[in-house]
Amino acid sequence: MARMGTIANRAETLLGATVVATTPVAGGDICTSTRLRLSDGSSALVKTRPHAPDDFFTTEAEGLRWLAETPGAAVPEVLAAEPDCLILSWVDTARPSVDVAERFGRQLAATHRAGAPGFGTVSGRDGYIGTLPLPNRPAPSWPEFFATRRILPYLKLAWDRGNIAPEDAAAVEGVVRRIVDLAGPAEPPARIHGDLWSGNVLWGQDGRGWLVDPAAHGGHRESDLALLALFGLPQLPRVLDAYTEEAPLADGWEERVPLHQLFPLLVHACLFGGGYGARAAEAARSLV
């Protein structure tokens, strides 16, 4: 294993430990991830991104620490967070068993149940979703928060980038006009991950599901569950069964899944174009 000098030297300065080897980690398309092997035999993960905004990594660290305050799902320890990098404890991964999936479902319910002061971030500061700015100013209700901080900003950006057709944009706007009726029974703010697609769940060799790369905020717990379903989490039925045993969901939650999926679909339309604008419209039309 080679030692990447610049990254290793920076990590040694921040951690006060010797890096004996570095290994590139595949999978990320936003940041460069590198495994650090330290002189004490432990490992860590360092994330870097050229020309990242000054608060890019510190915002992620804030979200990880906030999620870690709960007795719920596991979260890697933040070892260092600076404008140029983020260093986390290393998670050894394995294929998820039924027992691990069920445990994760119960622990995710506990994370959500820890709650939040309101709909939005604790700090009130905006964050990031992928490489895009993420509006997080609090709102008095979840329907208002979801409409004004999640759907409309990304619908506008997708439109400005030419990534959603007029008739598809109109379908999404129709959901915004009816969102109070579509949102279901009111719930208190949940402590949610905010970007919980399957790639942001690491299945640990220790038998736990670990939350990574959050856009953490006070939101609706159904948003996390809908995103887990969007790109196919392994063992999802087991996760959902255990979750609902621990924290039953309001009637009709299955019918509201497309509502909560509008946000990530619009984000993907902004970032990748392609058919994601049409998929967002398909989700919107299914709510009629």
The residue ranges of every structural domain in the chain are 5-89, 98-285
Q: Are 23 and 59 in contact, with CB atoms under 8 Å apart?
A: no
| Fold agreement (5-89, 98-285) | no
What CATH number should be reported for the domain whose range is 98-285? 3.90.1200.10
Question: Model-level pTM?
Answer: 0.95
* 5-89 CATH fold: Phosphorylase Kinase; domain 1 (3.30.200)
Q: Give which of 95, 84, 93, 82 is closest to 35, Cα–Cα.
A: 93
The rounded distance, in Å, linking the Cα atoms of 211 and 190 is: 16
The answer to whether residue 130 scores a pLDDT higher than 50 is yes
Band (4; pLDDT cuts 50, 70, 90): low
The answer to whether residue 158 scores a pLDDT higher than 70 is yes
- Residues whose CB is less than 8 angstroms from the CB of residue 117 and which lie 6 or more positions away in sequence, other chains included: 189, 218
The rounded distance, in Å, linking the Cα atoms of 36 and 87 is: 9
Q: Give which of 45, 48, 44 is closest to 56, Cα–Cα.
A: 48
> What number is the average pLDDT over the span 91-102?
97
User: Residues with catalytic annotation?
Assistant: 195
The tens digit of pLDDT for each residue in 169-225 reads: 999 999 999 999 999 999 999 999 999 999 999 999 999 999 999 999 999 999 999
Q: Are 208 and 179 in contact, with CB atoms under 8 Å apart?
A: no
Q: Are 8 and 19 in contact, with CB atoms under 8 Å apart?
A: yes
Helix/strand/coil for 165:
coil
